[in-house]
Amino acid sequence: MSPARPCRGMRAAVAASVGLSEGPAGSARRGRLLRPPSPAPAAPGARLLRLPGSGAVRAANPERAGWTEALRAAVAELRAGAVVAVPTDTLYGLACSASCSAALGAVYRLKGRSEAKPLAVCLGRVADVYRSGYHLEWDQQRPFILGWICALFSRYCHVRVPEGLLKDLLPGPVTLVLERSKELNKDLNPFTPLVGIRIPDHAFIQDLVQVFGGPLALTSANLSSQASSLNVEEFQDLWPQLSLVIDGGPIGDGQSSEYRLGSTVVDLSVPGKFGILRPGCALESTTAILQQKYGLLPSH
């Protein structure tokens, strides 16, 4: 076991850069909310804020370009228990505080989603997976000795793969399914002992999680059973039920069917093995890393 660089300094720095107090999810501490002078029109009940450029890359001048205003507004809504639409590296998503049971229920209702279907947990960095900035290098030769130790230093899930594997796949278009820990809200996916961890390769949502100060629940921004959304207009029917829509522009080329596949979902809950729960948009590259670099075996 070795100490890793603490997360708190990074979180506080990002929070300070946008004028917010860094704190736990649900914290009432916040800076003054600065609204842009002329927000784009949106359906009643939703405010639409556009990110500069593609939205996937941090603006060179966040204050002038609107990045800061969007972060402040999104954090304020999340801390109030609202549901916010955000861009990711694959699709537009719906995000809420993973610690707010009422917000979790709102996500299911507005999507018309079965409560038997899980929501992913969105983090900002791989380091956020671990408790108090510590990590454990998994030793394949001693899995039973180290199995109970990893539970002490993993935060939201029990990690039984090398940290390098996480860093090879995340941030990226992959959801890693691991055994959940007791630290997660018991109302989040109460029907399963597993949880999907998602760290999108998108600058805005990474900053958002860091400033918010806790995990977000994340799912696609569309009605259940309908096509996924690559731009904000495609889920406009949901706007009246949302507090805020962050427009980061089209995802990819805005049309590619590959992006609509969503993230590749991989079950890593069994040591030494992996299972593909959803092929998604990064299947080949993901399986190559798991098998060729880390020697994991398909579970079926």
Q: What is the pLDDT of residues 239-258, one digit of tens each?
A: 999 999 999 999 988 778 88
Pairing outcome for strands 157-158 and 2-3: unpaired
The rounded Cα 183 to chain-centroid distance in angstroms is 17
Q: CA-CA distance, 121 to 115, in Å (whole number)?
A: 15
Question: What does the pLDDT look like over 116-145, one tens digit per residue?
Answer: 999 999 999 999 998 654 545 545 554 444
- pLDDT band for position 164 (cuts 50, 70, 90): very high
Strand partners, 50: 247
pLDDT digit string, tens, across residues 75-116: 999 999 999 999 999 999 999 999 999 999 999 999 999 999
Kind of pairing between the strands at 194-198 and 120-122: parallel
Q: How confident is the model at residue 63 (pLDDT cuts 50, 70, 90)?
A: low
Query: What are the structural domains, with CATH classification, of the chain?
Result: 2-172+199-257 (3.90.870.10)
Question: In this structure, what token pair is assigned to residue 93?
Answer: 């998503």
Handedness of CA 176, 179, 183, 185 (dihedral sign): positive
Question: Which whole number is the average pLDDT over 48-61?
Answer: 78
Least confident of 1-10, 62-71, 88-97, 112-121: 1-10
- By mean pLDDT, which of 63-77, 143-157, 211-225, 247-261 is the weakest? 143-157
**How far is it, in rounded angstroms, from Cα 92 to Cα 246?**
9
List, in sequence order, every residue forming a beta bridge with 219; answer none if it has no partner.
Answer: 94
Q: What pLDDT is attached to residue 259?
A: 83
Nearest to 66 by CA among 77, 54, 87, 50: 50
Average pLDDT, the chain: 82
Which of 110, 77, 109, 118 lies closest to 218 in space, CA to CA? 118
Whether 64 has a pLDDT exceeding 80, the answer reads no
**Can you give the pLDDT at residue 113?**
94
Helix (H) or strand (E) holding 220: strand 216-220
Give the C-alpha separation, 111 to 200, whole Å: 21
Residue 49 has pLDDT above 90, yes or no: yes
pLDDT: which is higher, 35 or 10: 10
DSSP state of 273: E
pLDDT tens digits, residue range 221-241? 999 989 999 999 999 999 999
pTM above 0.85, yes or no: no
Instruction: Say how far apart CA 29 and CA 79 lie, in whole Å.
Output: 9
With H, G, I as helix, E, B as strand and everything else as coil, classify residue 17.
Answer: helix
Please, which residues bridge with residue 264 across strands? 174
**What pLDDT score does 150 carry?**
54
CB 52 within 8 A of CB 66: yes
pLDDT digits over 274-290, tens only? 999 999 999 999 999 99
CA 79/CA 9 separation, integer angstroms: 21
Residue 41: is its pLDDT beyond 70?
A: no
Q: Average pLDDT, stretch 51-60?
A: 74
Residues 36-41, mean pLDDT to the nearest whole number: 39
Q: Whole-angstrom Cα distance, residue 86 to residue 54?
A: 13
Q: Given pLDDT bands bounded at 50, 70 and 90, which one contains residue 45?
A: low
Q: Is the pLDDT of residue 262 over 90?
A: yes
